[in-house]
Structure 1
Amino acid sequence: MRLLIIYICIAVWALADAKVSYHGFQMYDVVPKTNLQLRILQEIYKEAKQDEIDFWVPPRGINIPVQISLPPKSELVGTFRLVGMDTRLVIDDVQHYIDQQNKVDLKFSPQGKAAPFNYGEYHNLSAINDWITNITTVYASMTKVIEVGKSFEGRSIRLIQIDTGKVKQKNGFFMEGGIHAREWISPATVIYMTGQMLDRYGIDAKITDIVDSYTWYILPVFNVDGYAYTWTTDRNWRKTRSKHGACYGVDPNRNWDYEWCKEGASKEPCSDTYCGPSAFSEVEVKAVADFISMHKDTIKAFIDFHSYSQLWMTPWGYTKKLPADYEDQNAGAKAACDALQVDYGTKYEHGSIANIIYEASGSSADWTYGAEKIKYSYGVELRDKGKYGFLLPAEEIIPSGKETLEALKALCTYVFHH
């Protein structure tokens, strides 16, 4: 009997750690056309639990599409259509697109000087950490690795500092990727831009100028536990991996200590927008915030890269009211968006977070601007507009990196002169 109990425990443990399959899951566009339909979607959103009903784009208003991933043969599709909502199938098998993300398009596979590293594919956390070590070794004269802290599960949160010694003023620029675990294009884009900033320094005049103009603080993967979990267990995981009752994780972009846990955040631990038991409850968020606070007198700009929707957003997130610096902030965003579309014609919208996507309190951009007075603070939603959502094919990494780097150049110039 004792042996049987041991076998059962092992089986349960193995099942708990088994990789989540999304075979048969489908993603739909659902458009509410009346206030009643919108309220129905909002109620489903409030009750949605992890892994089953998954809102990729939450309900925001009448005639604004919601994107929702549903399990096989979900009755909700019939319900949406019964009450008159426009319902369109976008992804017929979520797992198929997950599998496709790890296929490499060799024509978009430039190798950097640091070590063999394919910027045109997605990489797990171990490979990214190897790349950080390699690239800072090759460019040791102008880079260093800083561990800003440890994650809940004990992983190192590693930041790259770039400083050529030619910074014209006390200027710092902080950018981060991967605060939401499943948004793989975010770390991939940040990594590509960092690689270009180092490999093209001294070759490309504009890159040389922006690298010389700032001390750069670049955090490729913020939410290291969550990101690792998307590779080992659940590709669609969003939050951190701390434990809260029967559920895991906090939304690390609702956990910052500025207008914490108000509009656009949930107090329900199982929600994907759970704000946590308190502001800065997540060790990852607190570690990054402490680092930024230590350098707030020099950091002139901050970008938190996300996906998806193609938006370059300014504070505020917690309210639709606009801050005093909005005109300058939005002018910087416009300069970035104008430059971004040159290479591939990709169009981004710009404006405040609450007004062009949804209200979201306790966000990084609100905290850096509101609490730390970093005027040019942004949240950026990268490719695409919803065709692939979080499952953007690897062949789009390089184009995303190229166009976003052009946007970054334009923003750097704007911020430097303002």
Structure 2
Amino acid sequence: MLKYIIITICVVGFVESFFWELWSNPIIPVREFNGHKVYRVVPETLEQLDVLKWLEADNDLDFWTDAAIYQNVDIMIQKDKVNEILNTFKEYEIQYQVMIEDVETLVAAERHAIENHKPSRRFDEIDWYSYYSYDEIIAWADSLDCGENVDISSQVYGSSSEGRDLKVYKFTNGSSDPNPRPSMWVDGTFHAREWISPATVTYFMNDLCRNPSNTFLNDVDIYVVPIVNPDYEFSTNFLVTWTECGEKQERITIHPLDASVLVYPNRNFEFKFGGNGTSNDKCSNNYRGPNAWSEPEVRSLAEYLISTTNSADWRAYITVHSYGQYILIPYSFDNETFPADFPEMENLATDMESAMKAIHGTPFTVGHSGSILGPTSGCADDWAYEVANITYSYTYELRDTGRFGFLLPAQYIIPTAEETLEGLKYAARFITL
């Protein structure tokens, strides 16, 4: 059967593993991806939407954003596919524009920045001028000393698919109050390609620890998971493999961070599992898994939140993703169903956006997730609101709006983290009122 096994190099596998493995395996050969482009299209008819969904299923393309009617859809196209796909766009009158002219240019620049930055720091140091691996982030978090004003503690709440610790860090003023205190949960790194997520969440952790003006910690406990899914640390595979999917050969991208190489973690929560915006096709980027909770990273997070309701009065849940610059409010599973608390949730989201925009002028679109991005089911924020009963549940989608997409250069880490910090701190203060 060897003749049916094809191995090809693709920027998807490369960008999702290269930066995380470069530090631990510097002898990995350099790959080049000259000519790979990212295009943006906006389907304006159901026929155009069907064409995009067909392209997603039947071509060697990487959809950076989900295909939805009247929404921006960003697609990475390999060099040898560009003309073919553009002809399809023209045939169906799908308007398109180039967002990234050459993916390799951005990849090479980031690789160079990482290589130059590594010798200047200790393994357990983070300075937010570069992106870091799971081992480096956990080593740094475990070494945090917040002094006398803030008590930081950590707990292993589960194990990943490859046996790595799933760790949550709790920040408090050290109060011995026996009653459950108002609590906020913040997590990052559901997905490998969202490098800005762990960088931003660790920046938030550092501020909680070092900034004496965070008096809200007198009244609220904050739980932070910098890396929900750590298994990108395991993979050194930059390739895209081919396997049998149904009756035909289909592409399966190796996602080092994902709990399995197939399942999309943010489609694996039990609430509305298997609904809109998911697929039971193992070849789909929206493959939801064989059943709800099939991924230990997802299951362990949910079990921890539910198990701590006697010690934590959960009032806010914020999961940090990229990209697009959104503050998304449940529900995600449908574009017409709104939570009962939507007006209050929208008010807080609007205030968080104002606090974030005030830092660098970066705008964020606030609104109902299913309406803005199209329906997606089995998502973390929907589950947090509906099942864990956490009223103020949100998804942050950080910078940018597509100029760099998932390849956001490290020079944008600090400004992105600074503005996100203000939104998170506003939420922390709000839930104590």
Scaled to the shorter chain, the TM-score interval is 0.7 to 0.9
**Contact (CA 8 Å) 1:58, 1:66: kept in 2 or not?**
yes
Alignment of 1:53-132 (within 5 A): 53-62=61-70, 64-74=71-81, 75-104=84-113, 116-132=125-141
TM-score (norm 1): 0.85
Is residue 352 of structure 1 aligned with residue 374 of structure 2? Answer: no
Is residue 317 of structure 1 aligned with residue 317 of structure 2? Answer: no
Please list the CA deviations of residues 387-408 of structure 1 after superposition, one character each: whole Å capped at 9, or x if unmatched.
1100101011100110011111
CA distance, structure 2, for counterparts of residue 239 and residue 300 of structure 1: 32
Determine the structure 1 residue equivalent to 2:269: 256
Counterpart of 1:184, as a letter, is W
Secondary structure (helix, strand or coil) at the match of 2:345 reads helix
Determine the structure 2 residue equivalent to 1:287: 300
Counterpart of 2:53, as a letter, is Q
Worse-matched range after superposition: 338-347 or 81-90: 81-90
Q: 1:326 to 1:364 in 2, by over 3 A?
A: same
Structure 1 residue 242 displacement after superposition: 5.1
**Contact (CA 8 Å) 1:239, 1:252: kept in 2 or not?**
no
**Contact (CA 8 Å) 1:256, 1:367: kept in 2 or not?**
yes
Secondary structure (helix, strand or coil) at the match of 2:168 reads strand
Counterpart of 1:219, as a letter, is V
Alignment root-mean-square deviation, CA = 3.2
Is residue 223 of structure 1 aligned with residue 229 of structure 2? Answer: yes
Q: 1:397 to 1:140 in 2, by over 3 A?
A: same
CA distance, structure 2, for counterparts of residue 234 and residue 227 of structure 1: 16
Counterpart of 2:75, as a letter, is I
Determine the structure 2 residue equivalent to 1:209: 215
Structure 1 residue 364 displacement after superposition: 0.6
Secondary structure (helix, strand or coil) at the match of 2:198 reads helix
Identify which of 238, 257, 265 aligns with 1:233.
Answer: 238
Counterpart of 2:263, as a letter, is V
Determine the structure 1 residue equivalent to 2:39: 28
**Contact (CA 8 Å) 1:317, 1:360: kept in 2 or not?**
yes
Structure 1 residue 141 displacement after superposition: 6.6
**Contact (CA 8 Å) 2:234, 2:256: kept in 1 or not?**
no
**Contact (CA 8 Å) 2:280, 2:289: kept in 1 or not?**
yes
Is residue 416 of structure 1 aligned with residue 422 of structure 2? Answer: no
In structure 2, the gaps of 5 or more residues are 18-27, 241-252
Worse-matched range after superposition: 23-32 or 340-349: 23-32
CA distance, structure 2, for counterparts of residue 143 and residue 269 of structure 1: 40
Please list the CA deviations of residues 78-137 of structure 1 after superposition, one character each: whole Å capped at 9, or x if unmatched.
2212332212122122232123234549xx99x99x964222211011211211121158
Determine the structure 2 residue equivalent to 1:42: 53
CA distance, structure 2, for counterparts of residue 289 and residue 176 of structure 1: 12
Counterpart of 1:380, as a letter, is Y
**Contact (CA 8 Å) 2:57, 2:283: kept in 1 or not?**
no
CA distance, structure 2, for counterparts of residue 121 and residue 23 of structure 1: 23
CA distance, structure 1, for counterparts of residue 107 and residue 272 of structure 2: 35
Worse-matched range after superposition: 296-305 or 133-142: 133-142
Q: 1:237 to 1:175 in 2, by over 3 A?
A: farther
Identify which of 285, 288, 299 aligns with 1:272.
Answer: 285
Counterpart of 2:133, as a letter, is N
Is residue 339 of structure 1 aligned with residue 320 of structure 2? Answer: no
TM-score (norm 2): 0.82
Secondary structure (helix, strand or coil) at the match of 2:191 reads coil
**Contact (CA 8 Å) 2:125, 2:136: kept in 1 or not?**
no
**Contact (CA 8 Å) 1:55, 1:67: kept in 2 or not?**
yes
Counterpart of 1:209, as a letter, is T
Q: 1:237 to 1:346 in 2, by over 3 A?
A: farther
**Contact (CA 8 Å) 2:158, 2:300: kept in 1 or not?**
yes
**Contact (CA 8 Å) 1:124, 1:228: kept in 2 or not?**
no
CA distance, structure 1, for counterparts of residue 112 and residue 370 of structure 2: 36
Aligned residues: 390
Identify which of 381, 394, 397 aligns with 1:378.
Answer: 394
**Contact (CA 8 Å) 2:156, 2:165: kept in 1 or not?**
yes
CA distance, structure 1, for counterparts of residue 221 and residue 428 of structure 2: 12
